[in-house]
Structures are given as C-alpha cells and as structure tokens.
Amino acid sequence: MSQIKLVIGNKNYSSWSMRPWLLLKAFGIPFEEINIALYRGDTAEKLGPYSPSLKVPALLHNETTVWESLAICEYISEQLLEGRGWPANPKKRASARSVAAEVHAEFPHLRKDWPMNCKASVPMHVAGGLADEIARIDGIWSCCRRKHGTGGDYLFGKFSIADCMMAPIAICFRAYGAKLSLEAQRYCNTLLANPHVMDWVEQGRAEKDPTSMAVVSGMAG
Ligand SMILES: N[C@@H](CCC(=O)N[C@@H](CS)C(=O)NCC(=O)O)C(=O)O
C-alpha cells in the first residue's frame, strides 16, 4: 500500500505548500498532512528529517522524497495520476507547463509586496514592477481562458496543475484588491469558489499563529 505524506507550513501564508496540497485534494488522493510552523526558532530542526532544502512543501511517497512545489506536482501527476495533472492535449499541456513554470520562477514583486495571507483584506496601492506583474498574470489568465479554456471553467478547461499554481495568486488578488479584466476576474472567482481552495482559506484563517503578522514585512512565500 502506498503511503503519501505532504509536509506543509502554515496554511495562512504558505502559498508554496498550498499548490501540491490542492492537487492531491482536487484529485481525491488520500494523504497524511504534516504541519510545521514556519519562521520559528525550531523550524529548520523540525523540517530537517523531511525536507533537504529545509523548506516546505515536501512530499514523502514510500521511499521517495520530493521537494520544490512544481517538482512535487509533476511527481504526483506522473506517479499517482497517470499524467492527469496536466491537460491531455499536447498544445494545451505545453502552455500549461509554461505558465506553471513562469509562476514558479518569476513574479518577485508579487511575492515580496503581496504575500499570501488568508486573513488579509486590505486594498493596497499598486505601482511599478508589481503593476507589471499583475498585468502579466491578468494576460495569462485571459489568454489561456480564451485560447484553451473550452471544456470547463479552469485555465485549460478542466482543473490542472496550472490552476494549483495560480490559486494562491487569486487569494492575494482578493486580499489586496487587484483590479482585473472581466475575463481574468471571472477565472479568479472560479478559483476562489473551488471547494478545496475555500477549505484551505478557512483553515488558514482559523490558525492562531503569533508569527502571522510577519507577512506584512514580506517574509512569506
Ligand atoms: N521554491 C520553493 C519555495 C519554498 C518556500 O520558500 N517555502 C517557504 C514557505 S512558503 C519556506 O519553507 N520557508 C521556510 C524558511 O525559509 O525557513 C517551492 O516551490 O517549493
């Protein structure tokens, strides 16, 4: 029998943890959740046995350890979903992988200035690099929905890893009041209405963590 453990940080602000968690939930894969509180004196010590990078998320499956959110999503798709984490159509799949990789590698301003915080609801001023990055996300969302969105309400129609990568961004956009095009806003609303996204947000909001204000100074990711 396979054993799947997902090591994650605080749900209130660990956007990287949320991505593979959402994938496992969306596809109904049972797993054990191991929660490690971030930004504490003993965080690295607690992560040591699970995560070579001393960061979350990390996935433990039988004898295999995988870290880095996108690598974990790839592994889940390959080993546990027979590839169903990505769109079946090769063109859609190529674009889905591209936008997922872009989220994983880019958007430094979003990460620093608008960190995920499920409890936050504070309209924020937008300028410079942050405005450019919000516009780029809006462009990705509208363009993918228009070009690839048939067959469902998600970025590539049916729910995929690309949506897992975008979900924390939707939470940030709602929290800080991003102004989006109609198409992008519609997709943002779809993500926020996903029952597993709603569960994550609810659990994040319920966390009682003295470090949760740290996100205001840009510590979270
Ligand atoms: N590139 C990594 C980022 C992981 C990351 O930065 N995780 C943060 C929490 S969201 C973390 O573990 N921080 C703990 C620390 O830096 O001590 C991924 O995609 O998994």
* Ligand 1 atom closest to Cα of residue 68: 20
Query: DSSP string spanning 79-103?
Result: IISTTTTS-SSHHHHHHHHHHHHHH
Q: What is the DSSP letter of 205?
A: H
pLDDT tens-digit readout, 22-51: 999 999 999 999 999 999 999 999 999 999
- How far, in Å, from the CA of 79 to the mean position of ligand 1? 23
Which residue, among 41, 72, 42, has the nearest Cα to 56 in the 3D structure?
72
Residue 218 lies in a domain: no
**CATH number of the domain where residue 192 is located:** 1.20.1050
**50 and 122 belong to one structural domain:** no
pLDDT, tens digit, 9 for 90 and up, residues 147-200: 999 999 999 999 999 999 999 999 999 999 999 999 999 999 999 999 999 999
CATH number at residue 62: 3.40.30.10
Span 3-26, pLDDT tens digits? 999 999 999 999 999 999 999 999
The tens digit of pLDDT for each residue in 104-143 reads 999 999 999 999 999 999 999 898 999 999 999 999 999 9
Domains contained in the chain, number: 2
Q: Using the predicted structure, report yes or no on whether residue 219 has a pLDDT greater than 80.
A: no
Q: Which of 7, 16, 169 is the pocket-test mutation for ligand 1 (most atoms within 8 Å of CB)?
A: 16
Same domain membership, residue 176 and residue 97: yes
Statement to judge: residues 97 and 52 lie in one domain: no
Question: What pLDDT sits at residue 125?
Answer: 87
Using CB distances shorter than 6 Å, the residues near ligand 1 are 9, 14-17, 38, 43, 55-57, 68-69, 104, 221
Average pLDDT, the chain: 94
Ligand 1 closest atom vs CA 67: 20
pLDDT at 218 over 50: no
Let me know whether 116 and 75 are in one domain: no
Q: Which residue's C-alpha comes closest to atom 18 of ligand 1?
A: 68
Residues 101 and 168 reside in one and the same domain = yes
Angle between helices 161-176 and 195-206 (to 10 degrees): 50
Q: H or E segment at 147?
A: helix 128-148
Residue at a domain's end among 84, 104, 138? 84
**Domain co-membership, 75 together with 132:** no
In angstroms, the Cα distances linking 171 to 11, 154, 164, 185 are 12, 16, 12, 12
Q: Do residue 145 and residue 126 come from a single domain?
A: yes
- Domain housing 145: 90-200
